[in-house]
Every structure is written in structure tokens, then in C-alpha cells.
Amino acid sequence: MTVLIAGRVVQGFGAGGIMTLVYILIGDLVSTKDRGTYQGLIGATWAVASALGPVLGGVFAEKVTWRWCFFINVPVSVLAFLVIALFLHMTHPPVELSKVIRNIDYIGITVIAGSTALILLALQWAEQGVTWSSSRQIAFLVLGGLGFVVLPFVEARVPTPIVPRVSFHTKPESDLTQLRFCIPLYFQAVKAQTPSTAGVSILPLVISFTIASTGSGYLITWTRK
């Protein structure tokens, strides 16, 4: 479990950079009138990945080994690296590495990673038979919940927050984030479903996300709003 959590933390760093850079590249490479379409397609890609991820992760955990949750990224990453190296040629201004390192939101990263790890550990131990009333379970759930409660206040004090401030003030975006995080946990913790079954259960939600994301992208391009 320790290795799995550590691996997911490292993977989260990379995924955060990828998600941000994709939209930055769209802004640099695509004209304003077509930007909505491409952003909608990228949103649909995330939705499909959100659907396949839990299903594949559950299958790997049950049938093979959880390590394949990481191994499967290797060939995909190598292919993406080759495509980018061969076809994406962009100039960029010089950046001071020391300045970039100073601007990293270390406190926000620590709060998010720590709170998530505490809650997931409590859920995992509950599946293994540890009672919810145990002092360890209560402490982990309370501390994990408090971490997410104080997160908006922490992010409001840093110049480059890892979670944009608008995420805490825009209700639809906040609700969407909670849905993505809580629905899979609901099916596993409350309904006691296996990871693969929970992945199938959230497919209707993800399909609706895909349709809405793609459709909104084309709608923005068509209406220019």
C-alpha cells in the first residue's frame, strides 16, 4: 500500500503537468475561433480516460497485479514522447529553473497528498475489517477531512496555487470535482463493489460527461460564447 500511494503521488505530479500543458498548447497552437472545439475534444478524452481507468485498474488489481496500473503507462508515454519530439516544434522563452522551483506550491501539494492518503488508508482498512469506531480510523478521517477544509485558505495565500482559486468559487466546477472524486468511493465504500464493478457503475456518468464536454466545445465554437 505504501508503494502504491507513493507511486500515485509521483504519477499525480506528472498528470497535473500534462493536464495543464495540454490546454496551454491549445492556446498557443489553435486559433481563438476553433479553441472551443479542441478543448471539448480534450475534455471528452479525459472523460473516456476516467471511465476506462477505474475499470482497467480494477481488472489489474483483481486478475493480475496492481503494478500494471503503472506499467501500462510506459508504452503509452514512450509513444507520446516520440510523437511530440518528432512533430511538435515550438520556441519558448528562457526560464530560470530556480524561479520555477521557488514558485511550486509545496504546501498545497502536501495538504492534498496527505489528506487523500489519510482518507484512502481509512477506507482500505475498513475493507480489511477495521471498525469505523477505532481511534485510528476516526483520526485519519478527521485529519483527512480537515485537510480539504483548510485547502482553500492555504491556496489563497500562495502566488501559484496548485488548485486554481476559481475552483473554490465556481460552483459547477466544484460540484464536478466532487462528483469525480466521491462517486467511485461511494460505489466501493457504501455499495461494497469491487473496483472493476465500480468502474462499470460510473460509466453512465462518464458517458454523459463525454457528450457534454464535446457538445459544449462545438457549441462554444458555433456561438462564439
Q: Which residue in 209, 200, 189, 181 sits closest to 57, CA to CA?
A: 200
- Decide: 147 and 118 in contact? Cβ < 8 Å: yes
The answer to whether residue 188 scores a pLDDT higher than 80 is no
Give per-residue pLDDT as tens, 36-92.
778 777 877 777 776 677 677 777 777 777 788 788 888 988 998 898 889 887 777
The answer to whether residue 159 scores a pLDDT higher than 80 is yes
pLDDT of residue 174: 62
Question: What would the mean pLDDT of 181-204 be, rounded to a whole number?
Answer: 72
Q: Kindly write down the DSSP assignment for every residue of 75-117, as one continuous string.
A: HHHHHHHHHHHHH---------HHHHHHHS-HHHHHHHHHHHH
Q: Which residue has the cell 495543464?
A: 20
The answer to whether residue 121 scores a pLDDT higher than 70 is yes
pLDDT of residue 180: 67
More confident residue, 128 or 199: 128
pLDDT of residue 216: 72
The answer to whether residue 167 scores a pLDDT higher than 70 is no
Length of the chain: 225
More confident residue, 189 or 70: 70
Question: What would the mean pLDDT of 106-114 be, rounded to a whole number?
Answer: 88
pLDDT of residue 224: 65
The answer to whether residue 176 scores a pLDDT higher than 70 is no
Rg (CA), the chain: 19
pLDDT of residue 140: 92
pTM of the entire predicted model: 0.56
Burial of 178 from C-beta contacts in 10 A (0-12 / 13-18 / 19+) = exposed
pLDDT band of residue 146 (cuts 50, 70, 90) is very high
The answer to whether residue 139 scores a pLDDT higher than 90 is yes
The answer to whether residue 177 scores a pLDDT higher than 70 is no
